[in-house]
Amino acid sequence: MADKSFNAFAMAQQQFDAVAEQLGLDDGTRNLLRNPDREFHFNIPVKMDDGTTEVFRGFRVQHNDARGPNKGGIRFHPQETVDTVRALATWMTWKCAVVDIPLGGGKGGVICDPHNLSMREQEQICRGWVRQVGKAVGPIQDVPAPDVMTNGQHMLWMMDEYEKINGGHFPGMITGKPLGMGGSEGRTEATGYGVIYTLREALKRSDVDIAKTTAAFQGFGNVAQFAIELYAQLGGTTICVSSWDQGDQTSYTFKRNSGVDLKELQNMTDRFGGIDKEKAVAAGYEVLPGEDWIKQDVDILMPCALENQVNAETVQDISDQVKFLAEGANGPTTPEADAALQEKGVFTIPDFLCNAGGVTCSYFEQVQCNMNFFWEKEEVLEKLDNIMTRAFHAVADLAETQDVYMRDAAYMIAIQRVAEACRLRGWV
């Protein structure tokens, strides 16, 4: 399904170039913003449980910090590449800018597969990552967070290593920490809920009753599960979800026309978001090929797994019934597919706006750590909803008044904010 020649960074640059041209951005600013400011590539040697030494490759990419410290997750993935990290770092800059929080863009990664690593080995990778790049990250420089296949435990090991090296307590050096250890209420829910806050507003603007809508999801991890939860609370029906099967090394779509039962599916899902096929069949789910999630007759598609899933080829499979695309994942849609979506009249909520709830709550976590005073969950979610709703309408208003595609409108706002920060600092 995914095109092997796909390069997420080339796509991020292509999207940037198109909007920079529309905005008439000067060459100096374009050259500054189309490439990351700094990159770190390094080895992480780990003594494995069997006594051998394995060397993992780690990355940190800092795209731009004109608006504040770099911010972005660390991914553990066997197919991680520096170009994916570059793309994600770039999108983080636009994400923080579009929701107007005072942070820049960064991203990290390690080429590894946590499915095949013990907890001790994963801890050594986390500590090794900090030992290699610890001088360039920190509360006022660059603040990492969890991403695909990393979680609060990984963040805490990283914070602990950083604090050992620097001799003090620095809870603001990383976000996504467990509750009670500097974590924020609402962080686990934030990205998935944020997806639905923006979807709710998009439906309102189009006069569509959310309670009468159906949706198909790709992915059943952190983002998808909480998006499904809030979408169901607002009355929406999720017809299917797809997930990766580690044993078969392929993906499947799990479908039930009457709607999936979130709790039931969660009870048959591993900690990496993989759904157990046999249990799903026993519970009455149809098990279809992984790519079938995109072919369903639903009102809303929510890609919440990987990059490059809605592309020139798969966009042809989208049913005429689909009117909304809410991008929980980063980079799920290629520029070729964007053109086809516009033609079909699909309302797209672009990734770096739609999934900005996570980084917004990470920002709240930093603020709370700085004050050493923590808010109730309701307060966190209310603040999150306000920021997401405001950012969504600013983008939708611009798209409407300038008659531009939602992704272009989001880019226009974000790029202009970052370019202005660079100009005010005297960089360009």
220 contributes a contact to ligand NAD by CB under 6 A: yes
Closest approach, Cβ 220 to ligand NAD, in A, equals: 4
Burial pattern 328-355, b for ≥16 Cβ within 10 A else e, equals bbbbbbbeebbebbeeeebbbbbbbbbb
- Residue 275's DSSP bridge partners are 269
Name the amino acid, one letter, at 138: G
Q: What is the C-alpha to C-alpha distance for residues 64 and 71, in angstroms, rounded to an integer? A: 10
**Which x/- pattern over 278-307 shows residues binding ligand NAD (rule: CB under 6 A)?**
------------x-------------xxx-
Active site residue 107: yes
In the complex with ligand NAD, which residue's Cβ is closer, 218 or 366?
Answer: 218
Closest approach, Cβ 29 to ligand NAD, in A, equals: 26
Name the amino acid, one letter, at 404: V
Instruction: Tell which one of 72, 144, 274, 350 touches ligand NAD (CB under 6 A).
Output: 274
Inter-CA distances, 179 with 72, 145, 330, 355, 369, Å: 19, 14, 26, 22, 12
Closest approach, Cβ 425 to ligand NAD, in A, equals: 27
- In degrees, rounded to 5, the angle at the alpha carbon of residue 163 between the alpha carbons of residues 161 and 165 is 70
What tokens were used for 128?
């090794």
**Which x/- pattern over 380-409 shows residues binding ligand NAD (rule: CB under 6 A)?**
------------------------------
Interface with ligand NAD in residues 149-178 (CB under 6 A)? 149
Query: Of all residues in this chain, which one has the CB nearest to ligand NAD in the complex?
Result: 221
Residues 231 and 285: beta-carbon distance below 8 Å: no
Q: What is the C-alpha to C-alpha distance for residues 337 and 331, in angstroms, rounded to an integer? A: 12
Q: Which three-class secondary structure state does DSSP give residue 303?
A: strand
Contacts 24+ apart (CB under 8 A), 278-284: 280/254, 284/256
Instruction: Kindly indicate which of the ranges 213-221, 363-371, 388-396, 398-406 contains the residues binding ligand NAD, using the contact rule CB under 6 A.
Output: 213-221
What tokens were used for 2?
């995914």
101 contributes a contact to ligand NAD by CB under 6 A: no
Closest approach, Cβ 216 to ligand NAD, in A, equals: 11
Nearest to 153 by CA among 123, 129, 180: 123
Closest approach, Cβ 71 to ligand NAD, in A, equals: 11
**Catalytic entry in 4, 71, 95, 107:** 107
**Which x/- pattern over 342-361 shows residues binding ligand NAD (rule: CB under 6 A)?**
-------------x--x---
Residues with a catalytic annotation lie at 107
User: Contact residues for ligand NAD (CB under 6 A)?
Assistant: 147-149, 191, 218-224, 242-244, 251, 272-274, 290, 304-306, 328-330, 355, 358
